[in-house]
Structure 1
Amino acid sequence: MRLVIYILLSFFVTISSARSSQINELTYLTEQYPPYNFEQNGALQGIAVDLLQAVGKQSQSPIELSQINLQPWPRAYRTALIKPDTVLFSTTRTQLREHIFQWAGPISPTRIVVLAKRSRNIEISHSMVLAKYRIGVIRDDVGEQLLLELGVPRDSMVESSVPDTLAEQLTKERIDLWAYEENVAKWWIKKSGYDTDEYEVVYVLREGELYFAFNLEVDSTMILHFQQALNDLKRSPETGISIYQQILNKYR
């Protein structure tokens, strides 16, 4: 009987290890979304990028930067929806997206907001007031999806596939508002050479969390291994701080 139990345990450990090793065989897609994931001086970096590599190391399944593909968000989002063995990050987990992906995380808290120039003195008392303005959005981004959920018509939206275009349009008042993740929007505004203090949040669309979003055909056991490794990285040792916290501190 003991021999049978030993054989079964060995079998499950072997299967578990095999599935875990496949983490580095998945295709990882991301976008320019600093400080979470971005390319600078030809190298990918950011909170989520570092965390992904740490998960790979923790799982004894190293993930190289060359395995992460940087793409415009609309293309990456659609690819992750239809292509098996694909992972998209950093992705805001929402009710609309809940059942079209599998999830591991969270990576970090997030806040999706509507930004405006302070000098414009724009006040948004309720969501329908948004329809009066030209609102910059990234196609298929959570900002656009949340506006649509509120009933804001597409005619009020100015779509783009890259955030630096919208940052430039906001600073030059070609759009009135920008619906995007707060930290990321301010990063792009600063990168464009403008003072972020000259911009303010006029409406909060959603507070939530960023996740790794897996295509529905990815083996759920593999995602469980991914999540367990991520959980381990968040545990603080008896002395010092967790690897997860060290990654967060690096980008503050």
Structure 2
Amino acid sequence: MKVIVSILFAMWSTSVFAGKLTELKFITESYPPYNYQENGKLMGMSVDILEAATKAAGDPVMRKDVKVQPWARGYAAALSGPKVALFATTRTAERESKFKWVGPISDTKVVIFSAKDVTVNGAEDLKNYRIGAVRDDIGEQLLKQLGVKASSIKLQPKADLLVKQLGAGRIDMLAYEENVASYLMRSANIDKSKFKVVYVLSESQLYYSLSSDTPDDYVSMLQGGIDSITSSGVLAEIKSKY
């Protein structure tokens, strides 16, 4: 009898005290086609995946409840917490211990775009150019790891500003995610044929990064949702739209 009571109490305790995903503060940025706003509505692959995964986990998070902020502000919030989920975040060795990770969402490639007549033979050549990057973005972090001086890295809070600067010749290069940079060039009516990828900074994957204080129950619940839509084919279906 005591054993049965103990089991029932344990089950009751788990259901009462288990975390709810809706208690997390979800933050994203303008990072099309993964996450962006269109006519005031939050759109994108990672947003669709979040809705589907949290629904599968039994605790739906609605896109209207996700806050859109400049990357640096959202990144700082995810570092400090409490209970912050930031997306979409490139998972790297340097960031590994700073967050708890759920995913992956998608493959990603961070590259350097430059004018077509520019040739880069190695990382050392990058030090001769003005390279635009988003503050606290993976592009800035990777450039610094390569030894590019801070004075050569031209920072902005948003990538669309950098794309316009590249098109106007105010910076020589742009360090950013390849698909997103291409999307932003098209949106800004910049002739992408005038530019090319001259260097690949990293190839990795995008994840939901949760602040380190986030209880493991929340992490497991969200990962369970991702695993569920992966096995059911829903994740692949969402990706095919983009």
Give the TM-score normalised by structure 1: 0.91
Please give the alpha-carbon distance, in whole angstroms, between the structure 1 residues aligned to 2:107 and 2:6: 41
Please give the alpha-carbon distance, in whole angstroms, between the structure 2 residues aligned to 1:58 and 1:228: 8
Q: Which residue of 1 aligns with 2:59?
A: 61
Give unmatched runs, 5+ long, in structure 2.
none
Residues 1:194 and 1:12: Cα distance change in structure 2 (over 3 Å): farther
Displacement of 1:117 in angstroms is 2.2
Select which of 167, 171, 174 maps to 2:170: 174
* 1:87 and 2:85 correspond: yes
Displacement of 1:195 in angstroms is 3.1
Instruction: Kindly provide the amino acid, as one letter, of the partner of residue 169 in structure 1.
Output: Q
Instruction: Give 3-state SS (helix, strand or coil) of 1:227's partner.
Output: helix
Conserved? CA contact 1:21–1:59, under 8 Å: no
Residues 1:17 and 1:181: Cα distance change in structure 2 (over 3 Å): farther
Instruction: Give 3-state SS (helix, strand or coil) of 1:235's partner.
Output: helix
Matching of residues 12-91 of structure 1 within 5 Å: 12-18=10-16, 22-91=20-89
Q: Which residue of 1 aligns with 2:220?
A: 224
Q: Which residue of 2 aligns with 1:245?
A: 236
Please give the alpha-carbon distance, in whole angstroms, between the structure 2 residues aligned to 1:24 and 1:151: 41
Conserved? CA contact 1:20–1:59, under 8 Å: no
Conserved? CA contact 2:111–2:197, under 8 Å: yes
Q: Which runs of 4+ in 1 moved over 6 A?
A: none
Conserved? CA contact 2:107–2:205, under 8 Å: yes
Instruction: Give 3-state SS (helix, strand or coil) of 1:99's partner.
Output: helix
Instruction: Give 3-state SS (helix, strand or coil) of 2:96's partner.
Output: coil
Please give the alpha-carbon distance, in whole angstroms, between the structure 2 residues aligned to 1:235 and 1:204: 31
Instruction: Kindly provide the amino acid, as one letter, of the partner of residue 181 in structure 2.
Output: A
Give the TM-score normalised by structure 2: 0.95
Instruction: Kindly provide the amino acid, as one letter, of the partner of residue 23 in structure 2.
Output: E
Instruction: Kindly provide the amino acid, as one letter, of the partner of residue 73 in structure 2.
Output: R
Conserved? CA contact 2:42–2:64, under 8 Å: no
Please give the alpha-carbon distance, in whole angstroms, between the structure 2 residues aligned to 1:49 and 1:115: 27
Please give the alpha-carbon distance, in whole angstroms, between the structure 2 residues aligned to 1:186 and 1:8: 58
Q: Deviations over 1:125-184 (max 9, x none)?
A: 111110100000000000000000111111111100011110001111111100000000
Identity %: 38
Displacement of 1:248 in angstroms is 0.5
Conserved? CA contact 1:21–1:60, under 8 Å: no
Matching of residues 82-231 of structure 1 within 5 Å: 82-118=80-116, 121-231=117-227
Instruction: Kindly provide the amino acid, as one letter, of the partner of residue 39 in structure 2.
Output: N
Instruction: Give 3-state SS (helix, strand or coil) of 2:174's partner.
Output: strand
Instruction: Kindly provide the amino acid, as one letter, of the partner of residue 231 in structure 1.
Output: D
Q: Deviations over 1:181-226 (max 9, x none)?
A: 0000111111001232332110000000000000111001220111
Displacement of 1:246 in angstroms is 1.2
Give unmatched runs, 5+ long, in structure 1.
237-241
Q: How many residues were matched structurally?
A: 242
The CA RMSD measured in Å over matched residues stands at 1.5
Q: Which residue of 2 aligns with 1:239?
A: none
